[in-house]
Structure 1
C-alpha cells in the first residue's frame, strides 16, 4: 500500500540519504532573498551552503525572475527602515509630549524633567539610526548578489515560450478551481500577467528538469501556504501528498521539501563548512520569520479595522435606501447618489477582503 499511496508516507533514512546523494537541490525565491536580508556573518554562511551544493544546484527560470523582481525591494526596504523608524518614534514621542503638557499642574510628576528625558531619548535614537544608515553595507550586499549570481551561473532553466506559458495558465485555472496544488492559494492574488501562476510555473519547470535528468528533487522553500505543505493541526507534516504522487507519476523519482532552517540542520550534517556559526544563522532566520509573522498579523488587524468601518457605512446606506425605520428619509436624487456609493463600498470591501486573504496566506516573503 505504501507504493500506491507514496505521498501519504514519510521517507525513511535510506530514501533521504539517496535523495541527498543523487538529487537536485532547488531553492525558492524566498530562500535566495535570505542571502540579502541578514547580517554579514549570516549572509556568508547562507551563501556557503549554496557553494557547497554547487554541483547539485539548479534554479527554475521563474525563481530567478522573481528574485530579480524582488531583490531591490528587499535591499531598499532595509535602507528605508532607518527613516521610517525615526518617524515612528518621533510620532510616539510627540504624543507623549502632548500628554505631559496637559499635566503641567500635576502634584508629583516633574513635567519639565520628563519632557527633557523624552528629548534626550529621541535625539539619541535618531543619532543611532543615522549612524546605522551611514554604515549600511551597500557594497557588501552588492557583492553577495554577485556571489549568488556566480553560484548559479549555468544552472538556470530556460525561459518558457509564450505557448507554454499560455498552456500553464490554462492548466492553472483548472487546477486552482479544483484546489490542486501548488499555487491555488494565489488564485485571488492582485497581479498581472502570469504572476498568479508563478508557483505552478516553478512546479512545471521542476518536473521538466527532473524528468530530463531522471533525478529526484529537494525543493527548499519558506512559502508556508497549504498549497505546498501538508498541514495537520497547524503542523507541517511534509510536502503535499498530491505533489509527491504527481512527481512520482511523471518523473518516476522522489520529491522532497524543506523549510530553509530545517534544510540547514540537515545540510550541516553533510557539509562541515556549514557547522560554523550555525546557531547564529538559525537564530537570524527565526527572527526574520517572527518579524514577518508579526507584520502579517499587523496587516490583518489593519484590514479587519478598515473592513469593519466600510461595512458599518454600508449597513447605514442600505437602511437609508430601503427606508428602514430609524434612518433618514431620502429623495430620489439622494437615492441615486446612495446607490452609487453603495456599489463603491461593495467593491472596496471585496478588494480589502481579497488582500487580507492573500496577506494571511503569504507569510514567507
Structure 2
C-alpha cells in the first residue's frame, strides 16, 4: 500500500533526523525566507544566518526564487522603513492631548487649576523625554539599519556569497510556455502548487532577460525547477523545502491544523525516487534545526518573531485579495466572481471579531509604556491583563473542542454533512487564529514585564 500511495504518508522522526544530517539532502529556502530578514530584528536575522551558514554546502537556489528576491527586495525594504516612520510620527504626536491643556489656548487650565497645570506640564515634559529617548534608541537605530537602499546591503551581500555556484540555470521560453500550458489544466482541478495565485494575479505578465513569464504560474515554475533538479542529480535523495507561503495550494490541512505538504505535491516528487521530502515554515525549520543539527542554538524570541511575521504575511495577503475583489463588482453591486465573495466574508469576520478582542492588552502596554505609573502598578496592571487574555484563550479552546465534537458526530456522506463540515472547518480555523493572536499578545506583555522585574 505505501509503495503505491507514497504521497498519502508523512515522515517518521527517524527519517527526518537522517535527512537533516545526510550529505544527500538539499535545503531549499523560498523567497519569503530571505525577504523576512529585512523585516525582523537583528538577533533573529543573525540566528537564521547562523543556521543557514551551518548547512551552506547543502543549499540549492532555484532561479525563480532568486528572481523573485531581486524583484521584491526594494519594495520590502521600503515597506519596513515606512512602517518604522509611521510609528515614529505617531509617537511624536502622543502628547498633543495634554498640550491642549498646557498651552495658552482657550482650553488651558493654567488660570483655573494652577497647581494641576504645573503637574500636567511636568508630566508632558517627562513623557516627551521618554518618547524622544525611545525614538532615538529603538526607532532611529532600526531606521538606520533598515536603510539598505542608500547604504550597503549586508543581507544581499550574504545571499550573494552563500548562493555562489548554487543557482540553477533559468528556464527557457520554450520551457516556460510548456509549463503555462500544463499549469492551465493543473489549476482547473486544483493540483498544487500555485493555483490560489490565479485569483489575484490573473493574466499579468513579467519579463526578464528575454523571457516572458505569467505571474500566476510563479510557484509552478519553482516546483518544476525542483522536480528537474531531483531528476537530473543522482546525488540528491532528500529535499527539505522551507517556505512561509502557507496557502492551501501547498499544504494539507485538517480541522484547522497544518498536517504537511499536499498529497499531489508529495506524490509527484516521490515518484522521482526521492526518499524524503518535507516542507517547513521558517520558524518551524529553525526549531527543528535546533534539535537535530549539532552546535546550533536559536533564541526562542527569533522563532516567535518569524512565526509572527508569517502570520502578518498571511493577513496582508488576505487584505490584498479583498482589495482586488472590490474590482469585481458589477453595476448592481453584485460580485462577478462568487469565489471572491468568500474572501470578503472572511476579512470582515476577522476584522469584526478582533476589533475589541485585544483591547485589554493594548491598554496595558499603553499604560505601562507611556503613563507615569509606578513600577508596582505597571506590573500589577500587566499581570491582570495577561490573566484576562489567558481566560479568553480557555474560552476559545472550549469553543474549538465543541466544534471538533460536532464534526465527529456528522454522518459520513450527504450534502448537509458536507456543508456542515465546511462550516465547522471554518470555525475551527477561526478559533486557532484567535488563540494564536492572543498568545502573541501575551508574549508581548510578558516580554515587557521582564524589563520591569
TM range (shorter): 0.7 to 0.9
2:44 matches 1:42 = yes
Question: Runs of 5+ in structure 1 lacking a partner?
Answer: 315-341, 361-365
SS at match of 2:200: coil
| Alignment-derived partner of residue 77 in structure 1 | 79
Q: Is 1:199 matched up with 2:199?
A: no
Q: How many residues align structurally?
A: 326
1:152 alignment counterpart: 163
Cα distance in 2 between the residues matched to 1:59 and 1:65: 10
**Among 125, 129, 132, the residue aligned to 2:135:** 129
Q: Deviations over 1:320-362 (max 9, x none)?
A: xxxxxxxxxxxxxxxxxxxxxx6496689999869869999xx
- Tell me whether 55-64 or 44-53 shows the greater mean CA deviation: 44-53
Q: RCO higher in 1 or 2 (8 Å CA, sep ≥ 6)?
A: 1
197, 201, 219: which is aligned to 1:186?
Answer: 197
**What is the aligned partner in structure 1 of residue 178 from structure 2?**
167
Shift of 1:79: 2.0
Hey, what's the Cα distance between the residues in 2 that align with 1:11 and 1:186?
28
CA contact 2:239–2:276 (8 Å) conserved in 1:
yes
Query: Would you say the 8 A contact 2:239–2:277 is kept in 1?
Result: yes
* Post-superposition CA distance 1:167-220 (Å, at most 9, x none): 111111111111111000101123433221110000000000011113221111
Cα distance in 2, alignment partners of residues 350 and 125 from structure 1: 48
Change (3 A) 1:208 1:39: same
Cα RMSD for the two superposed structures = 4.2
- Farther off after superposition, 220-229 or 46-55: 46-55
Q: Aligned partners of 1:347, 1:95: CA distance in 2, in Å?
A: 43
Q: For the residues of structure 2 that align with 1:189 and 1:133, how far apart are their CA atoms? A: 36
Alpha-carbon distance change, 46 to 102 in structure 1, aligned in 2, over 3 angstroms:
farther
Distance 1:303 1:74, change over 3 A: closer
Who is 2:291 aligned against?
Answer: 269
The Cα shift of 1:151 comes to: 0.6
1:96-139 per-position Cα deviation (integer Å, ceiling 9, x unaligned): 8789999879x99x789768856864675466436633662246
Q: Residues 95 and 231 from structure 1, CA distance in 2 versus in 1: closer, same or farther, beyond 3 angstroms?
A: farther
Select the residue among 234, 240, 250 that pairs with 2:256: 234
Does structure 1 retain, via aligned residues, the 8 Å contact 2:101–2:108? no
**Could you state the TM-score of these two structures normalised by the residue count of structure 1?**
0.73
Matched, 1:52 2:54: yes
2:231 equivalent in structure 1: 211
Cα displacement string for residues 53-99 of structure 1 (whole angstroms, at most 9, x for unaligned residues): 12211011000011111122222222222322234456776688789
For the 8 Å contact 1:230–1:237, the answer to whether it is kept is yes
Residues 345, 36 of structure 1: CA spacing in aligned structure 2 closer, same or farther, 3 A cutoff?
same
1:286 maps to 307
- Unpaired runs of 5+ residues, structure 2, are 207-213, 351-453
1:324 maps to none
Secondary structure in 2 matching 1:11:
coil
Question: What's the CA shift for 1:18?
Answer: 3.8
CA contact (8 A) 1:23 1:218 kept: yes
Give the conservation status (yes or no) of the 8 Å contact 1:182–1:203: yes
**TM-score, with structure 2 as normaliser:** 0.60
> How far is 1:164 from its partner?
0.7
